[in-house]
Amino acid sequence: MHIAQWIAAHAVAEVLAGHNLTQALPQAMRKAAQATPQQQAAAQDYSYLTLRRYAEADALLQALTSRPLTDARIRALLLVALAQLLQQREDDFTVVNQAVEAAGKSKQRWAKGLVNAVLRNFVRQRAPLMAALAEQPMLQYNMPTWWIDLLKQQYPQHWTSLLETGNQHPPMTLRVNLRKTTTEAYLTTLQAAGLEARLLGETAIQLQHPVPVTQLPYFAEGWVSVQDAAAQWAAPLLNAQPGMRVLDACSAPGGKTGHLLERTEGLNVQALDSDAKRLQRVQDNLQRLGLSAQCQVGDAARDEWYDGQPFDRILADVPCSASGIVRRHVDMKWLRRPQDIASFARTQQQILANLWRMLAKDGTLMYVTCALFQQENDMQIQQFLTMHPDARRLPVTFTESALPCTLHVGGQLLPTAEHDGLFYALLHKG
């Protein structure tokens, strides 16, 4: 699997240089065209593992080397191998040998010897090295210190579980299209296909093990979509009624758009997104589901796209830190900086103010983020209410019988084994 390690090293090096993993990993795979599907899958696993455990691996690498490594690829390769050794799913000897072999692909003559020496040194000194690092919170939770401090301040009762959940593997949850089947019937279909799963609620089924969508029965026919259970709250909470004019701002990739249309017939839905390529994903998803909406490229913070006709319902799933879904986007915790939170908050404020002008009197706007930080969530809404006297906050009620909501603070769903961390606020225009 040395090819997998080398691909992962390329991807991790790109992330540490400031690039997104969803772009870096495919690029790294294209550079290793000879890689088999098995090696590509292993490379993806190693990339995610390394970024989950980056703080530990980086601290160990610093302890095991006398000076910083200037070669980004070799440094990343060592991080990948150290993360594998920390996980202890593979034999130490095999991991070390594969890493040395992967280092042979480098143009640096010294690479193989250095990789061999560093990794074997770790294997020999594992216990004392790990004991020396055990007391540092950043290494214990594999999160940046500022991230830990902010969650500790804002969630004094839940911060440890939030950090621990953020390093777990995310669940794969399906939303059943009730126009085509039922959750009970589709669960039976999954079991017949040898896929273990369980019901979570009215529309949600969670798979025991994630699989490619191509393995899901009748996926192409629109029977199900992949959507986390927390995100499946958006459509029922918005409560759009037949005949209403609805805007789904920042709509890509279209999960919530599809759910709105599946749930209520006769909606006039406009799906907006600033990225034309991402908007195409909305169109593709709707086509698979046999649904339709007016898809339009436009910035939710601006009004060039607006035709002047007010909306009865607006769903504003705004750009955010993604701190509530960090287990799905493991690179985000290392790419984000404390100042980014204020930047997101400014953008969110602009979007809210702009969309509010487009909401009809007696209409409802739903504000949604996949963030945990209160600057982006409750504090954002409190500030909005002070600036808009015609706005009234409606209660957000999570009902366990409908969908899982085992841990929430007000409109903030906290991430658990069953769902991601999302924030919901409903604003009524008087």
Q: Which two tokens stand for residue 167?
A: 């390093």
Which of 250, 320, 370, 405 is catalytic? The answer is: 370
> 172-226 adopts what CATH topology?
Alpha-Beta Plaits (3.30.70)
| Span 255-313, pLDDT tens digits | 999 999 999 999 999 999 999 999 999 999 999 999 999 999 999 999 999 999 999 99
SS3 157: coil
- Residue 135 CB coordination number (10 Å): 8
pLDDT of amino acid 6: 93
Cβ-contact 47, 12 below 8 angstroms: yes
pLDDT of amino acid 403: 67
Distance CA 257, CA 279 (A): 11
Cβ-contact 237, 366 below 8 angstroms: yes
Distance CA 245, CA 312 (A): 5
pLDDT of amino acid 404: 63
Bond from prior residue into 26 cis (ω within 30 degrees of 0)? no
Distance CA 262, CA 265 (A): 7
Distance CA 363, CA 304 (A): 22
Distance CA 14, CA 76 (A): 9
Cβ-contact 253, 321 below 8 angstroms: no
Alpha-carbon dihedral angle through residues 257, 259, 265, 269, given to the nearest 10 degrees: -10
pLDDT of amino acid 231: 95
- Asked if 370 is an active-site residue, the reply is yes
Distance CA 420, CA 406 (A): 11
CATH class of 2-141: mainly alpha
Residue of 136, 165, 163 lying closest to 150 (CA atoms): 163
Cβ-contact 328, 370 below 8 angstroms: no
State the residue for tokens 């193989």: 112
* Low-confidence spans in the chain with pLDDT less than 50: none
- Amino acid identity, position 265: E
- Amino acid identity, position 160: T
pLDDT of amino acid 407: 62
- The torsion angles phi and psi of 205, rounded to 5 degrees, stand at -130, 130
pLDDT of amino acid 401: 59
Q: Is the pTM of this model over 0.95?
A: no
The DSSP annotation for 174-196 comes to EEE-TTT--HHHHHHHHHHTT--
State the residue for tokens 């789904």: 248
Distance CA 332, CA 51 (A): 9
Domain boundaries in the chain? 2-141, 172-226, 231-429
pLDDT of amino acid 57: 96
Look at the alpha carbons of 349, 352, 355, 360 in this order and tell me if their dihedral is positive or negative.
Answer: negative
Cβ-contact 273, 282 below 8 angstroms: yes
| Span 190-226, pLDDT tens digits | 999 999 999 988 899 999 999 999 999 999 999 999 9
Is the domain spanning 231-429 CATH 3.40.50.970? The answer is no
pLDDT of amino acid 89: 87
Phi-psi region of 232 (alpha: psi -120 to 50; beta: other; left: phi over 0): alpha
Cβ-contact 335, 18 below 8 angstroms: yes
Residue of 49, 52, 81 lying closest to 142 (CA atoms): 52
**Residues 6 or more apart in contact with residue 181 via CB below 8 angstroms:** 189, 218, 223
- Angle 344-348-351 from CA coordinates, rounded to 5°: 140
